Structure 1
Amino acid sequence: METCIFLEHGEKDTQIVKQVKNLYQALKANDKEAIAKILADDPVWDVSPGFPYGGVYTGMAEIFGSFYSKLRSQFSGFGATPETFIDGGDVVTVLGFYNFDSNQDNSTKFVRFSHTWKINDDGRIKGVWQVADTAQFIF
């Protein structure tokens, strides 16, 4: 799939945008130490209904021990490619796409997403509200 950036957003990286970018890099690298420094003590992942294992996950154990472990069991590989970062003051909205490699038929699905990250006063990430093209997950 060829992707292009639909929304050109020329804003320079602010401190909170840099923090969100650091989180995407730490998640991709599975750097648990960096992730723990970037996230607030009890982060919340609010994952769209219809998305695999959609629901609300609170705390590191639920997010990484439950949500991501279930997701990894369903797909042979997945990742997030953020494209546009929009600083909203105490939130950063990110537009991009996921790529999922199916265990069932060896296909790759590309799924658009919007992540809105809430930032604490101390600059740590409190959590995410995730919306994705869940129709892509009908098997």
Structure 2
Amino acid sequence: MNNVQISVLDEVVSDSKNIRQVKALYRALKTKDQQLIQKILVDEPVWDVSPGFPEGEIYRGMSEVFGGFYQKLLARVHTFGAFPDRFIDGGDTVVALGQYQITKTNSGLPVLVRFSHAWGIDDTGRIKGVWQVADSAQFFAS
């Protein structure tokens, strides 16, 4: 018997075009594939990170998102990863529900922080940005 494990980020036949695009972005972010990220995102994406979450504010454009938000957030932690486990296609919006896995120090235990990402999709299928809500209390409790 073949024991192939399927990741939630793998494409499945029932995925809509927009869900496939959002999954592709999560994969590209995990592998830090800058060329693919730029192909998937619009030229000036908007990251609306919920107030209360570390570095929570609105970031506009690639340089603010990747040179501002992610750079500042990653400076606070040892490891950080987003693990979506459910996708809901609402047409021009795809919602991803999941958990961040964070370790704050090299020897620290991982902490799970629930999130909801609402990804906007434009008419050409490119991702306009994200509206993020997360359990900030869990982030700060770790």
**Residue by residue, what CA displacement relative to the aligned partner does 1:110-137 show, whole Å, maximum 9, x if unpaired?**
0000000000000000000000001113
Match of 2:102 in 1: 100
- Cα distance in structure 2, aligned partners of 1:103 and 1:52: 16
Shift of 1:12: 2.0
What letter matches 1:86 in structure 2? I
Give the gaps of 5 or more residues in structure 2.
1-12
Check conservation: 1:74, 1:103, Cα contact below 8 A. no
* Equivalent position SS for 1:127: strand
Report the Cα offset of residue 105 of structure 1.
6.7
**Does the C-alpha gap of structure 1 residues 136 and 105 become closer, same or farther in structure 2, counting only changes over 3 Å?**
farther
Matched position secondary structure for 1:64: helix
What percentage of residue pairs aligned between the two structures are identical? 56
With normalisation by structure 2, the TM-score equals: 0.87
SS in 1 for 2:123: coil
Higher mean alpha-carbon deviation, 104-113 vs 44-53, is at: 104-113
State which of 30, 40, 43 in structure 1 corresponds to 2:42: 40
Report matched runs for 1:1-139 at 5 Å: 12-103=14-105, 106-139=108-141
Residues in 1 aligned to 2:59 and 2:42: alpha-carbon distance in whole angstroms: 14
Unaligned stretches of 5+ in structure 1?
A: 1-10
The 3 A distance-change label for structure 1 pair 105 and 52 is farther
Judge conservation of contact 2:78–2:106 (CA < 8 Å) in 1: no
Deviation at 1:71, TM superposition (A): 1.0
Q: Partner of 2:70: helix, strand, or coil?
A: helix
Equivalent-residue separation in structure 2 for 1:37 and 1:104 (angstroms): 34
Partner of 1:5: none
- Measured on the aligned residues, the alpha-carbon RMSD in Å equals 1.5
Q: Secondary structure at the match of 1:37?
A: helix
State how far apart, in whole Å, the 2-side matches of 1:121 and 1:112 are: 30
After TM superposition, what 4+ stretches of structure 1 lie above 6 angstroms from structure 2? Answer: none
TM-score by length of 1: 0.89
CA displacement 1:31-75 (0-9 Å, x = unmatched): 000000000010000001111100000000000001101111111
Identify the structure with the greater strand proportion. Answer: 1
